[in-house]
């Protein structure tokens, strides 16, 4: 936590213009294509997010997917479903974009030990960090399969970043989308035997990387809702002692683009108490949800009395405590989450209504 407010944004390298409403040779035109294809946009965005680890990049990758699909629609003969066809294109768009690109870690994924909260923070780094996916972008209807709920959790996305892109694609297509190994092989351009071998390695790597953090429930119970209300109140009052009791013994706090991370309630509380520039009644938390998890946009009071975005917190819960907080210093995430760009002078906290996390797209 720092007085530095980072606004850096790393756009994808594969951005594409919107598909224009003009007739396409050999098809019923753009209207027919979009009528059939556009209903898959949200789940394709979740797919591209799993592959890229960036909500901003995922938007660009989906746009490139639709541009390629529109250009090829005249040759699409319905030998597979539109959904499967689009996923194949999206997967290859992602694989092309990821060639030679560094993985997107969280600070805990850099291999360095946890930090001392009394040590000064490093300067923000140029690492292309993993970022959250607002549920408003990649969420889906409540009736979607519950077993897919964890497929965009931060811990799972962070674990995927440990994999080479083709292993990442194979694991997502096979274990999240439940494709057959032969279908995966066709999509990524390899053999079924190679897919099965890659899957074995990928599953082992993901299991090791996820540790014990992927525990946020699909729905919050009344005790967890009350916990989050107390959490918001504690930030409004800057009640560090109250925060200590809300974290698990092995809780983790990390905050890209700063490379440090902290573990344990005492260290996290001291970090907030000594490094956070906000004082009592200077921090308002606005509720949202991201990665199928509860999230809050923290606004910091300015000298003129208004409140501006400071960081977006994505929380992982373990029963009635917080086990992980990713605090992302990227104001553009507020816009993606549908949160206000600024709160007027005289605003007060806390905001006590905590929305349930939305189910992620399949």
Q: What percent of the chain has pLDDT over 70?
A: 83
Q: What is the largest CA-CA distance in the chain?
A: 67
Q: Residue 264: its pLDDT value, please?
A: 97
Instruction: Copy the structure tokens of residue 133.
Output: 């996916």
Q: Which residues contact 334 (CB under 8 A, 6 or more apart)?
A: 297, 309, 312, 340, 341
Q: What pLDDT is stored for residue 169 in this prediction? A: 96
Q: Report pLDDT digits (tens) over 331-351.
A: 999 999 999 999 999 998 876
pLDDT at res. 11? 38
As given in the structure block, the two tokens for residue 105 are: 């870690």
Show the CA angle centred on residue 298, arms to residues 275 and 58, nearest 5°.
110
- What are the pLDDT digits (tens) for 261-320? 999 999 999 999 999 999 999 999 999 999 999 999 999 999 999 999 999 999 999 989
List Cβ neighbours of 171 (8 Å cut-off, separation of 6 or more).
160, 163, 198, 199, 202, 203, 206
Phi, psi for 13 (deg, rounded to 5): -85, -5
Angle of helix 82-98 relative to helix 30-37, nearest 10 degrees, comes to 90
Give the containing element (helix H, strand E) for 308: strand 307-318
Q: Quick one: tokens of 241? A: 């002692």
Three-state DSSP at 154 gives helix
Predicted confidence band at 186 (pLDDT cuts at 50, 70, 90)? very high
The position carrying tokens 């399949």 is 362
Q: What is the pLDDT of residue 141?
A: 39
Question: Which tokens is 351 given?
Answer: 């905001």
Q: Please say if the pLDDT value at position 245 is more than 50.
A: yes
How far is the CA of 246 from the CAs of 176, 196, 311, 344, in angstroms?
32, 42, 20, 30
Contact 133, 55 (CB under 8 A): yes
277 class by beta-carbon count within 10 Å (0-12 exposed, 13-18 middle, 19+ buried): middle
Per residue in 214-224, pLDDT (tens digit) is 556 678 899 99
CA 266 to chain centre: 27
Q: What is the pLDDT of residue 349?
A: 82
Tokens read off for 242 = 């109250």
Rounded to two decimals, what is the model's pTM? 0.86
pLDDT at 139: 54
β-pair type (247-254, 321-328): parallel
The more confidently predicted of residues 164 and 141 is 164
Please tell me the distance from the alpha carbon of residue 323 to that of residue 270, in angstroms, as a whole number: 16
Q: Are 291 and 153 within 8 A, CB to CB? A: yes
Mean of per-residue pLDDT scores for the chain: 86
């Amino acid at each position: 936590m720092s007085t530095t407010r980072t606004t850096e944004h790393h756009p994808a390298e594969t951005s594409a213009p919107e598909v224009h409403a003009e007739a396409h040779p050999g098809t019923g035109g753009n209207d027919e294509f979009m009528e059939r294809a556009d209903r898959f946009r949200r789940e394709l965005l979740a797919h591209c997010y799993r592959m890229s680890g960036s909500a901003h990049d995922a938007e660009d990758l989906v746009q490139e997917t639709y541009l390629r699909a529109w250009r090829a629609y005249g040759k699409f003969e319905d030998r597979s479903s539109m959904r499967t066809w689009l996923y194949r294109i999206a997967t290859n768009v992602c694989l092309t974009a990821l060639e030679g690109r560094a993985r997107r870690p969280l600070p805990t994924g850099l291999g360095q030990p946890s930090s001392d909260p009394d040590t000064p923070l490093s300067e923000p780094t140029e690492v292309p960090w993993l970022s959250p996916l607002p549920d408003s972008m990649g969420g889906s209807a409540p009736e979607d399969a519950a077993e897919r709920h964890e497929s965009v959790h931060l811990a799972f996305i962070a674990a995927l970043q440990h994999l080479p892109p083709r292993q990442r694609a194979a694991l997502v297509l096979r274990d999240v989308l439940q494709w057959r190994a032969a279908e995966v092989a066709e999509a990524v351009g390899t053999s079924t035997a190679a897919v099965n071998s890659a899957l074995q390695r990928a599953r082992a790597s993901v299991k090791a990387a996820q540790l014990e953090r992927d525990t946020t429930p699909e729905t919050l119970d009344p005790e967890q809702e009350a916990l989050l209300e107390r959490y918001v109140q504690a930030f409004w009052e800057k009640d560090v002692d109250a925060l200590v009791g809300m974290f698990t013994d092995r809780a983790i706090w990390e905050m890209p683009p700063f490379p440090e991370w902290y573990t344990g309630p005492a260290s996290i509380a001291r970090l907030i108490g000594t490094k956070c520039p906000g004082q009592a009644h200077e921090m308002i938390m606005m509720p949202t949800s991201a990665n199928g998890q509860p999230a809050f946009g923290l606004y910091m009071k300015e000298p003129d009395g208004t409140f501006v975005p400071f960081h977006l917190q994505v929380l992982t819960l373990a029963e009635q405590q917080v086990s992980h907080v990713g605090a992302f210093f990227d104001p553009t995430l507020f816009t993606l989450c549908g949160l206000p760009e600024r709160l007027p002078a005289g605003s007060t906290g806390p905001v006590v209504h905590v929305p349930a996390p939305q189910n992620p797209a399949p």
